[in-house]
Amino acid sequence: MASPQLEFELRAMTFDDLDDVLINEGLSYSHPWARGIFDDCIKSGYECFVFIVDAKVVGHSILSVAAGEAHLLNVCINPEVQGNGFGRQLVQHILSRAVARGASKVFLEVRPSNLIAFKLYESLGFQEIGLRKDYYPAENGREDALVFSYQVPDAFP
């Protein structure tokens, strides 16, 4: 028997969402972003979104767009609700926002150890284009980042 389709909402992130956003960050990452980073992203007019299920913020994303290119800076889904396709929905939404803002390419970095995210990005059409040595803080020093690029197709959905 298939599991029921869960209802979700995507909306712009506000300062009032940051307590929930920080909880999700802390549960998801060994080195989560600080509140000040999210504050700055909202103040700067970045594309900041929250993903809501059953009136609870369970995910978020941050996208910066400039000069026809976009950079997906943060994608997070609370580990307790991963596996429901929410990450895919969130990234697809943020890609549509990049296109709406005139971007023809979208870039991101991902830890090689984050296989779930790596596979998600590949399945959505991102291509690995490089490596940033010692990019991320890690438990024992630093971890490299894989750099991915997404070329917006002429007929983007």
E-state strands within 14-151: 47-53, 56-66, 69-77, 105-110, 127-138, 141-151
Task: Give the pLDDT band (50/70/90) at residue 39.
Answer: very high
Catalytic residue among 29, 69, 109, 128: 109
**pLDDT more than 70, % of the chain:** 94
CATH class, domain 8-151, is: alpha beta
pLDDT digits (tens, 9 = 90+) for 55-92: 999 999 999 999 999 999 999 999 999 999 999 999 99
Average pLDDT over residues 25-33: 93
Q: Which strand (E) or helix (H) includes residue 27?
A: helix 18-28
Task: Give the pLDDT band (50/70/90) at residue 54.
Answer: very high
DSSP, res 80:
G
Q: Is the pLDDT of residue 96 over 60?
A: yes
pLDDT digits (tens, 9 = 90+) for 111-143: 999 999 999 999 999 999 999 999 998 888 899
For residue 121, indicate whether it is catalytic.
Answer: yes
For residue 109, indicate whether it is catalytic.
Answer: yes
For the chain, give the mean pLDDT: 93
pLDDT at 5: 64
Catalytic residue among 25, 46, 47, 121: 121
Task: Give the pLDDT band (50/70/90) at residue 153.
Answer: confident
Domain ranges (residues) in the chain: 8-151
Q: Is the pLDDT of residue 151 over 80?
A: yes
Sign of CA pseudo-dihedral 132, 79, 49, 138: negative
Q: Is the pLDDT of residue 3 over 90?
A: no
DSSP, res 17:
G
